[in-house]
């Protein structure tokens, strides 16, 4: 079984003795019930990991460990960004969780024209915070050293502008002509995958995205929910791009 991952500051990501306390220490001591001699990984969530052995635990939230070595992962190539239209209910957090576990690098919430859910004011602030917390916790659970970045909410117009800088951009669409499984993918740069809402993407949005270089693609013969389509397509792209090699 792989060692559990905990988030730590830069001062803990060095060879030698370290202390893990606060919420992460409490999780390690009171929830995971770690004991001396067990292995752990400390990370900043930005690609650096410190591999350590627990030396002592005390109280409910203090763990001491000895870091033996530190490594930093290279930047992912190509980088995978998923633009996720806002789903209903808690399906947004489900999408973020599973995409994080799959290996997505950037998640962009999108207020599509046909989204039932709307992020406005305090509700929007809380919802975005939930997505970011979900990405952090799912990153730890899936033993990632580099957690996905959850960006601010974008409109359709802002999304069209963003798509122009992608090395490859695809819009998942049930009536898309080309198969995503056969698309030619770049070896570097950014791959952007656009996942629409349950009500579908409007023709105006499709036209704007096509003008920005993002053509519609079909994923497969079945119709997936917006909260699962991004994860399925990401797995396909990560496998085909060589990221899973």
What is the pTM (predicted TM-score) of this model? 0.94
pLDDT in tens, 58-70: 999 999 999 999 9
Same domain, 167 and 134: yes
Question: What single-letter DSSP state applies at residue 76?
Answer: P
**pLDDT score, position 221:** 83
Same domain, 61 and 152: no
Mean pLDDT score, 82-100: 95
Spatial contact of 229 and 172, defined as CB atoms under 8 Å apart: yes
Same domain, 223 and 154: yes
Determine the 3-state secondary structure of 35 from DSSP.
coil
Residue 104 domain boundaries: 79-241
Spatial contact of 194 and 172, defined as CB atoms under 8 Å apart: yes
Same domain, 56 and 119: no
User: Cα dist. 124→97, 119, 130, 195 in Å?
Assistant: 19, 4, 10, 19
Beta bridge partners of 170: 193, 215
Find the angle CA(78)-CA(232)-CA(223) to the nearest 5 degrees: 135
Same domain, 157 and 55: no
Q: Count structural domains, the chain.
A: 2
Alpha helices in the chain (DSSP H): 22-26, 91-102, 121-141, 156-163, 203-211, 226-241
């Amino acid at each position: 079984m792989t060692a559990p991952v905990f988030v730590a500051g830069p001062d803990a990501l060095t060879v030698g003795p370290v202390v893990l306390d606060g919420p992460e220490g409490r999780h390690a001591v009171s929830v995971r019930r770690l004991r001396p001699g067990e292995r752990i990984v400390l990370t900043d969530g930005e690609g650096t990991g410190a591999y350590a052995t627990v030396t002592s635990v005390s109280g409910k939230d203090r763990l001491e460990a000895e870091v033996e070595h530190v490594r930093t992962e290279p930047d992912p190539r190509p980088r995978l960004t998923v633009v996720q239209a806002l789903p209903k209910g808690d399906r947004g957090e489900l999408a973020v969780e599973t995409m994080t576990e799959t290996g997505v690098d950037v998640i962009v919430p999108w207020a599509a024209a046909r989204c039932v859910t709307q992020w406005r004011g305090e509700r929007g602030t809380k919802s975005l915070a939930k997505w970011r917390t979900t990405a952090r916790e799912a990153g730890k659970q899936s033993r990632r050293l580099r957690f996905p970045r959850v960006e601010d909410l974008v409109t359709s117009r802002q999304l069209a502008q963003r798509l122009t800088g992608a090395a490859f951009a695809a819009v998942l669409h049930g009536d898309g002509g080309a198969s995503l499984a056969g698309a030619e993918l770049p070896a570097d740069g950014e791959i952007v995958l656009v996942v629409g809402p349950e009500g579908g993407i409007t023709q105006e949005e499709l036209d704007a995205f096509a003008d920005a270089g993002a053509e519609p693609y079909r994923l497969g013969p079945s119709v997936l929910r917006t909260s699962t389509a991004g994860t399925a397509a990401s797995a396909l792209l990560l496998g085909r791009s060589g990221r899973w090699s």
